[in-house]
Amino acid sequence: MKRLFKNFLKYRYLLRELIKKDIKLKYRRSYLGILWTLLEPLFTMMVLTLVFSGFYGKSDKTFPVYILTGRLLFTFFSNSTKAATKSIRSNAGMIKKVYVPKYIYPISTICSNFIFFMISLIVLVAVALVLGVYPTKYVFLAVVPILNLLVMTLGVGLMLATFSVFFRDMEYLWGIVLTLIMYCCAIFYEPKRVIKTGFGWILEINPLYWVIENFRDAVFGRPLDMRAFAFSTTFACVTLVLGIFVFYKQQDKFILNI
């Protein structure tokens, strides 16, 4: 592990350049450019609020904040893991020509998406203030679920990047899995409705749901749910360790399959 860390520090400048490249390419030839990072979640929130507030008869004016907190976190997880899944194969040309630690590629895509996610939080702050959700002392605890989400995404991303080299259909299968995960994160509905139907256990076993709930607690001025914190933190750490192990064990075989 110490050797891996030293190697990572050695190539940190390359990681920075890859992140810059990802950011530049994302909105290349777009008139609004990086402004879409702010506009996209705002428009999505408006549509989801319009649809689901009417469907559930929701009258709470803070409902858009509830939706946005879930949507932003899930979007980061979704976009990052999908990008990581393709990261090795999309950089096959460089991997075949020069030696670069292969984990740099999935990590750089996740880091660039994390930067977009942090920028998009500006929208959340603005919407929350407009709708009367003011920050409290608990808002600083939002760092905890954000870090858990980042660690979890890194672990899942490394595993997906590995599997997709040997199993090309992983990219499409993961898209289906993400749809299932989205509906199990209570992004636009209240968990109580699911619990009453007897399917609450689906939320209980979803670590991403607990990350979102901890983030919502911080935004709405509530202390963190320690059970949610323990479960999501444990899952994130185990996932990262497992992702590093799987990637490290298989990375020498990438050159034969890309």
Task: Quote the CA–CA distance of 182 and 178 in Å, as a whole number.
Answer: 6
pLDDT greater than 80 at residue 127: yes
Task: Quote the CA–CA distance of 50 and 55 in Å, as a whole number.
Answer: 9
pLDDT (0 to 100) of residue 125: 93
pLDDT greater than 60 at residue 194: no
Residue-wise pLDDT tens digits, 164-182: 999 888 989 999 999 999 8
Residue-wise pLDDT tens digits, 74-90: 999 999 999 999 999 88
pTM of the complete model? 0.90
